[in-house]
Amino acid sequence: MIHRQDRAVDVRAVGRLLVRGTRRAALTLIGFALVGIGLAGLLLPVLPGWVLIIAGFAVLSREYAWAHSGLAFARRHAARSGRKLRSLATRRRGQPTDEAAPSGEIVIDLTEVPDDTEEPNFATGSP
């Protein structure tokens, strides 16, 4: 009877090992599939490449330390880029508009009428 209980413990340990290994293999397969599709998405206009790559690293980071550090690196750089972008937008909003700066549009002022009452004579060259 004691021998039978030892055997049951071994079956449970093997079952846990099998479940753990299957879970790790499934997460690895899903993570690398997302990274692969994300890499294809960098070239194809239909797929959001960076989003899928980051999602793949998020899945892989549950099982692998290198993926966790890569994801942390991406988060730090994304946060830094976001701060720079917000700073740039704040600076652009806060700048006073310079009316003398060229804006690319042509303005014709029709409020002032010239004082020329005589018609120019083109034959003699005098006004």
Rounded Cα distance between 58 and 77, Å, is 16
Convert the pLDDT of each residue in 54-77 to its tens digit.
Answer: 999 999 999 899 999 989 998 888
C-alpha distances in Å from residue 55, one per residue of 6, 18, 38, 39, 81: 43, 26, 9, 12, 19
Asked if residues 13 and 5 have their Cβ atoms less than 8 Å apart, the reply is no
Identify the pLDDT of residue 17: 80
3-state SS, residue 126 = strand
Out of 33-47, 49-63, 88-102, least confident range: 88-102
Higher pLDDT pick, 8 / 47 = 47
**pTM flag (> 0.75):** no
| pLDDT band, residue 1 (cuts 50/70/90) | very low
Assign 9 to helix, strand or coil: helix
